[in-house]
Structure 1
Amino acid sequence: MTEDRTLRTSRILPFSPEEIYGAFASPELLAAWWGPEGFSNSFEIHDFREGGRWKFIMHAPDGTEHQNESKFEVLEPNSKIVIHHDCPPNFRLTVGLTAEAHGTHITWNQVFEDAQTAQVVRERAGSANEQNLDRLTRVLEQAKNAV
């Protein structure tokens, strides 16, 4: 059972599964929306393939830098992305994409190694996953408007 180790969020976004999957596949787009409000990213490696590495620095608004390293475990185009975060706090993020009449239902399930870590992240990061989806929405809206 992983219920006590899991942070979940989901919503319907007004974009196709292809557009959302593409926002993970494109390092430029991903760097623009990944993380909570106010954060930015510098990517060192973005090898978007199953088994590929993703290494980057997340820059906090207060100037703190957070080293991140992950592996893309599962990539099912326009359907599913599984990322294993290989540095503390270790977790596996599964993003599901399901086409809906007016967009895509995105599910975001982040499973930590233990319940205590999940609780600490929940208390400290609060609505960070919701903010990720807010930022993703803005980046995809800007990309659509730029065309």
Structure 2
Amino acid sequence: MTTFSTERAIPAGPSAVFAAFEDPARLARWWGPDGFSNTFDTFEFRPGGLWIFSMHGPTGTTYPNEALFASIVPDREVVIRHVSQPHFELTVRLQEHPAGTLVAWDQAFDDDAVAEAVRHIVVPANEQNLDRLSAEVASDALSAT
């Protein structure tokens, strides 16, 4: 199993970061790499809940996705099992940190060959995802003031 890991300190508390996951309108704004948008067909944010969505790329290509929320621990962890191809499990852990929240993002692929084939996409895309999450959390903090 190949796992791609990255982490980022976000200057907000774990509950503020978690809120960007549990609200489908907010998640749709930041999920995915730069230039992508999302349409959610099903969003059952609970353990075992289904998440069916389409990611729309900057060139107009639509990528259908189906996932399950394998585990959710409010303000601490979200585990997403991607059940459409490519198969992977994404574990996002939130930990209090002097700068706010340390977000640890671990994407474990079932098939090492598939992971190696998409490494050049996944590694920068995961960083961009965290950039977009950081911006979403910052935007929400600004609108609350």
For the criterion TM > 0.5, the same-fold answer is yes
Amino acid at match of 1:123: H
Q: Shift in Å at residue 139 of structure 1?
A: 1.1
- SS of the residue aligned with 2:54? strand
In the alignment, what sits opposite 2:5?
A: 8
Provide runs of 4+ in structure 1 moved above 4 Å.
Answer: none
In the alignment, what sits opposite 1:80?
A: 77
Q: Percent identity?
A: 42
* 1:137 matches 2:138: no
Within 5 Å, which residues of 2 pair with 1:12-23?
A: 12-23=9-20
C-alpha distance after superposition, 1:85-108 (max 9, x if no partner): 000001000011100122011100
* 1:39 matches 2:32: no
In the alignment, what sits opposite 1:67?
A: 64
Within 5 Å, which residues of 2 pair with 1:88-103?
A: 88-103=85-100
C-alpha distance after superposition, 1:101-125 (max 9, x if no partner): 2201110000101211111111233
In the alignment, what sits opposite 1:118?
A: 115
* 1:127 matches 2:124: yes
Following the alignment from structure 1 to structure 2, what is the Cα–Cα distance between the partners of residues 140 and 96? 16
Cα contact 2:4–2:123 (8 A) shared by 1: no
Q: Shift in Å at residue 51 of structure 1?
A: 0.4
Following the alignment from structure 1 to structure 2, what is the Cα–Cα distance between the partners of residues 124 and 77? 29
Following the alignment from structure 1 to structure 2, what is the Cα–Cα distance between the partners of residues 47 and 87? 17
TM-score (norm 2): 0.96
Gaps of 5+ in 2: none
